[in-house]
Every structure is written in structure tokens, then in C-alpha cells.
């Protein structure tokens, strides 16, 4: 396919008018200024009314938790984990995971997500949903030290990765210890050794609550990131879920392959505090995540980015900081945390593209297209989206059986309420 005469916005927030993109075999073959040159054997699609951007990377999600959207409201972090979510999850089964994940993927595709990094249990059901829907997914099966049987959990993760490693256009994996407060240093060390032996990265939660720092010092005499460094975790490619309360002295432990997925809507919802990431936003490798819909209620990277920028401007008192361009680069940076070779409008990169119509009442007039996209647009402005050279949304509609997904979710949600809460060994 040749997308002709479009306006392009690349990962650097640079805008190019009247450009063409040639797509072949799921990749961008050529990006070049519009001309009268004839390219044989291609379908030509006029894009003169579209802005084309890379798709969005959601770098920290718990997609199956869409099944719990709205079930735990107006509670603090302690109650959210210990009295609501973990007790409900204790009775969750694979069908619940599959239903919630498909719902999440439908929402993400609608809102421009072309690749996501997931962190949850029953990971094979997530793999199934990814392969059925055409999104790209980096899956980190959650490992809980508190739950017991850690070695078996770790081995099962390794076996899952080996089983699906041939699906590398759509599936990739990180090891997923939940956090340094639910997994002890010895378990974290075992994970680092396994990850190195299989050349995999690690994805876990760190410093998402201020109390975790003192708890870690009391238990191990070390801060959370120091625990990770001493276990070998920081030597691997690393996705940090949150890192909200990271300490100044821990910044030196970050490597060139460490990425922070920030999810400000969850921090606001659970009153987790400002933390320190906003004041260090120019120093840290920040990306955008959505967390799970049980806390964020939506899986919308644009919403999360908008909140991040506005919180920064408001609380740090500088309207000239947290710029549109910086925000866009932060959103695009998420692709660098993953191994799918996406996120750039360059030859050889994956053809994961969004086609924006800004001639809409919510986005006109367009003085600055990035301002329109970040601060004004919604999913309705994404007319088409493409992953690996295939349309997953066309003319505003998902190429999925949305009605089947919705029916399944309603049935599973009723089942969850009927089963109720169970007991859990996990403690936040």
C-alpha cells in the first residue's frame, strides 16, 4: 500500500507535509516527499486529509483488570489492594482473564494503542487474546513470592516464553516479578539469573508508594532500587512500573535500558502523592502506561499523558515546562522499551500507524497539530489504525467482533460478583 500525500508527525514531534509512506510485508519500506513517480503493484490510498503518526505504546498495563473496572471505588491504596482487588483476584479464573483482556485490547485499539506491555497472571490467556486480535503484546507473567512456589512460577514463565517465541511479530516477553515488596531478594536474584540465561528483560512495580521505602530499609537495610541492583535486576532491560517515589541516590542505578512507565491517573485516583518523578522529568527515561482499569478506569495513553503534563504545570508552577513536544516524545519513547522495532516513521520499522482526522469540531482549528492531538482529540479522531501492515481499525470501526467481547464481559462480570471475594496471601 502507498499512503499518498499525508502530513506526518514523527517520534521527534517533527511535522512533514505532503509525504508518502510505502508499506510492504508489514513494514515501512520507504518514506518520501510526494511526487508523480509511479510505483508498480501497490494500492494507492489518498491521505491528503490525514495526519499519520506512529501508534501508541502502553508500557505498563494489567489488561485483564478491565473485568474489575469500577468495582473498587473511593478507597485508599491499602483497602484497594488488600480489601478489594486481591480478594476478588483470588477467585479469578482463566476465562475471566481472557474476557477482561479482550475488552482491554478492544479499548486500546480504539484509542490508538498498537503495542502494550502487560503484567498479570494466567498469561497464556493473554497471549491467546493478543494473537486473536492483532495487537502487539509484551507479556510479563506476574510472579508473587508471597504466594509460595516461586521456583515453579519462574519455570512456568520460562516455558511459556519458549512455547510462543515463534510468534515474535505479535508476542514478546519480560519476566514479571510483581515487586521487591512481594518478592524477596533471593527470588529476585533467581529471576535475574533466569532472565539473563534467556536474554529477556524484566518488568516489575517499584516505589509506587512512599511507605515501601522505609519498609525496604527495615527489612533489608536497602532502598527498593538498591535491592534490585544487588539482585542483578538492574543489569537487565527493565520496565519500571511507576517508580513514583524513587530517591535521589537511586538515580545512579538506572541504566540505558531502564524505562519508567508512569500512570498519573492511578496516582490521583488512589491519592498516592506527587512523588518525585515530576521534578526529575527531564532526567528520567519516562514513558506512558495506563495501569489497570480497576484503578485507572480507562486504558488511554493520551489521557495519561495529558494528566502528566497538566499535573506538572500546575504543581510545579511553570506553564512553560512540560511542553507538548516533550510530552509527545515521552509517549513515543515507550516503543524503545520494547523489542518490536516500532514507533518511528522510518524505513524498516513496523507499519504500526494511526491516521488522524483533525477536521472535526473537537480539534478545529488546527494551529498546532500536536496540541490538537494531545489536548483536544479523542478516539473518534483516529479514523484508521494499522499494526504490522494490517488495519485493525477502519473508518472508525474496530475489525473485531465487539458484540461478542461485550457479551462475554457481561457474563463474566456477573460470575465475579456471584463468586465474591476470597482469601489471599498477598499484602500491600
Which CATH number fits the domain that encloses residue 181?
3.20.20.140
pLDDT tens-digit map of 102-155: 999 999 999 999 999 999 999 999 999 999 999 999 999 999 998 899 999 999
pLDDT of residue 146: 87
Helix, strand, coil tally for the chain in percent (to 5): 40, 25, 35
Q: Are residues 46 and 65 in the same domain?
A: no
| Domain membership flag for residue 355 | yes
Neighbours of 88 (CB within 10 A): 23
CA distance 338 to 259: 10
Under the banding of pLDDT at 50, 70 and 90, the label for residue 426 is confident
pLDDT at 167 over 90: no
pLDDT tens-digit map of 44-80: 999 999 999 999 999 999 999 999 999 999 999 889 9
pLDDT tens-digit map of 316-369: 999 999 999 999 999 999 999 999 999 999 999 999 999 999 999 999 999 999
Q: Are residues 41 and 61 in the same domain?
A: no
Neighbours of 32 (CB within 10 A): 12
Secondary structure of 141-193 in HEC code, one letter for each residue = EEECCCCCCHHHHHHHHHHHHHHHCCCCCCEEEEEEECCCCCCCHHHHHHHHH
pLDDT at 94 over 80: yes
Q: Residues of the chain with pLDDT > 90: what percent?
A: 94
Instruction: Give the list of residues 6+ apart from residue 333 with CB closer than 8 angstroms, or none.
Output: 11, 259, 285, 286, 287
Under the banding of pLDDT at 50, 70 and 90, the label for residue 35 is confident
**Least confident interval from 77-91, 203-217, 281-295, 349-363:** 77-91
pLDDT of residue 39: 82
| Domain membership flag for residue 98 | yes
Q: Work out the burial of residue 98: count CB atoms within 10 Å of its CB; fewer than 13 is exposed, 13-18 middle, 19 or more buried.
A: buried
State yes or no: cis peptide before 85, omega within 30 of 0.
no
pLDDT at 177 over 80: yes
Q: Are residues 185 and 291 in the same domain?
A: yes
Under the banding of pLDDT at 50, 70 and 90, the label for residue 41 is confident
- Are 337 and 57 spatial neighbours (Cβ–Cβ below 8 Å)? yes
pLDDT of residue 425: 81
CA distance 413 to 11: 39
Its pTM surpasses 0.95: yes
Q: DSSP assignment of 380-414, as one string? A: GGEEEEEETTEEEEETTEESS-HHHHHHHHHHHHH
| Domain membership flag for residue 404 | no
Output the average pLDDT for the chain. Answer: 96
**Helix 185-197 vs helix 224-231: angle between axes, to the nearest 10 degrees?**
50
pLDDT of residue 124: 98
Under the banding of pLDDT at 50, 70 and 90, the label for residue 6 is very high
| Domain membership flag for residue 419 | no
Which CATH number fits the domain that encloses residue 25?
2.30.40.10
Q: Are residues 203 and 280 in the same domain?
A: yes
pLDDT at 157 over 90: yes
Q: Are residues 263 and 117 in the same domain?
A: yes
Q: Are residues 30 and 63 in the same domain?
A: no
Q: Are residues 319 and 393 in the same domain?
A: no
Q: Are residues 63 and 104 in the same domain?
A: yes
pLDDT at 92 over 90: yes
Mean pLDDT for the stretch of residues 231-258 = 98
Q: Are residues 327 and 348 in the same domain?
A: no
Q: Are residues 239 and 200 in the same domain?
A: yes
CA distance 19 to 34: 5
pLDDT at 272 over 80: yes
| Domain membership flag for residue 414 | no
CA angle 176, 181, 184 (to 5 degrees): 75
Q: Using the structure block, give the residue that is written with the C-alpha cell 519508567.
A: 260
| Domain membership flag for residue 416 | no
CA distance 255 to 145: 25
pLDDT at 37 over 80: no
pLDDT at 239 over 80: yes
| Domain membership flag for residue 44 | yes
pLDDT at 38 over 90: no
Q: Are residues 95 and 226 in the same domain?
A: yes
Q: Are residues 22 and 71 in the same domain?
A: no
Residues linked to residue 241 through DSSP beta bridges, in sequence order: 205, 261
Domain that holds residue 350: 2-54+344-398
| Domain membership flag for residue 409 | no
Total domains, the chain? 2
pLDDT at 428 over 80: no
Amino acid at each position: 500500500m502507498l499512503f499518498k500525500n499525508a502530513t506526518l508527525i514523527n517520534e521527534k514531534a517533527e511535522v512533514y507535509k505532503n509525504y508518502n509512506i510505502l508499506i510492504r510485508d508489514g513494514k515501512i519500506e520507504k518514506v518520501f516527499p510526494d511526487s508523480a513517480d509511479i510505483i508498480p503493484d501497490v494500492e494507492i490510498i489518498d491521505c491528503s486529509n490525514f495526519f499519520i503518526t506512529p501508534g501508541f505504546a502502553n508500557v505498563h498495563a494489567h489488561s485483564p483488570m478491565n473485568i474489575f473496572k469500577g468495582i473498587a471505588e473511593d478507597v485508599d491504596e491499602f483497602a484497594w489492594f488488600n480489601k478489594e482487588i486481591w480478594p476478588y483476584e483470588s477467585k479469578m479464573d482463566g476465562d475471566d482473564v481472557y474476557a477482561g483482556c479482550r475488552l482491554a485490547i478492544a479499548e486500546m485499539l480504539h484509542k490508538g494503542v498498537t503495542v502494550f506491555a502487560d503484567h498479570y497472571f494466567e498469561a497464556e490467556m493473554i497471549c491467546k487474546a493478543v494473537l486473536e486480535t492483532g495487537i502487539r503484546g509484551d507479556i510479563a507473567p506476574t510472579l508473587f513470592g508471597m504466594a509460595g512456589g516461586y521456583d515453579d512460577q519462574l519455570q512456568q514463565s520460562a516455558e511459556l516464553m519458549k512455547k510462543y517465541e515463534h510468534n515474535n511479530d505479535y508476542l514478546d516477553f519480560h519476566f514479571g516479578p510483581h515487586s521487591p515488596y512481594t518478592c524477596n531478594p533471593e527470588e529476585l536474584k533467581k529471576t535475574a539469573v533466569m532472565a539473563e540465561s534467556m536474554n529477556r528483560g524484566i518488568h516489575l512495580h517499584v516505589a509506587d508508594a512512599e511507605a515501601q521505602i522505609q519498609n525496604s530499609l527495615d527489612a533489608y537495610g536497602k532502598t527498593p532500587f538498591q535491592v534490585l541492583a544487588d539482585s542483578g535486576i538492574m543489569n537487565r532491560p527493565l520496565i519500571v512500573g511507576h517508580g513514583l517515589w524513587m530517591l535521589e541516590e537511586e538515580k545512579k542505578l538506572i541504566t540505558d535500558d531502564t524505562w519508567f512507565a508512569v500512570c498519573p491517573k492511578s496516582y490521583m485516583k488512589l491519592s498516592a502523592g506527587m512523588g518525585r518523578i515530576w521534578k526529575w522529568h527531564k532526567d528520567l527515561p519516562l514513558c506512558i502506561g495506563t495501569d489497570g482499569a480497576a484503578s485507572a478506569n480507562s486504558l488511554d495513553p493520551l489521557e495519561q499523558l495529558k494528566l502528566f503534563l497538566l499535573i506538572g504545570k500546575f504543581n510545579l508552577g511553570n506553564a512553560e515546562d512540560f511542553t507538548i513536544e516533550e510530552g509527545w516524545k515521552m509517549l513515543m519513547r515507550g516503543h524503545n522499551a520494547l523489542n518490536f522495532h516500532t514507533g518511528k516513521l522510518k524505513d524498516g520499522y513496523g507499519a504500526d500507524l494511526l491516521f488522524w482526522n483533525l477536521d472535526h469540531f473537537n480539534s478545529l482549528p488546527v494551529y498546532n497539530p500536536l496540541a490538537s492531538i494531545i489536548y483536544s482529540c479523542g478516539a473518534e479522531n483516529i479514523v484508521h489504525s494499522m499494526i504490522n501492515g494490517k488495519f485493525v481499525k477502519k473508518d472508525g470501526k474496530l475489525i473485531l467482533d465487539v458484540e461478542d467481547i461485550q457479551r462475554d464481559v457481561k457474563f463474566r462480570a456477573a460470575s465475579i460478583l456471584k463468586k465474591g471475594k476470597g482469601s489471599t496471601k498477598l499484602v500491600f
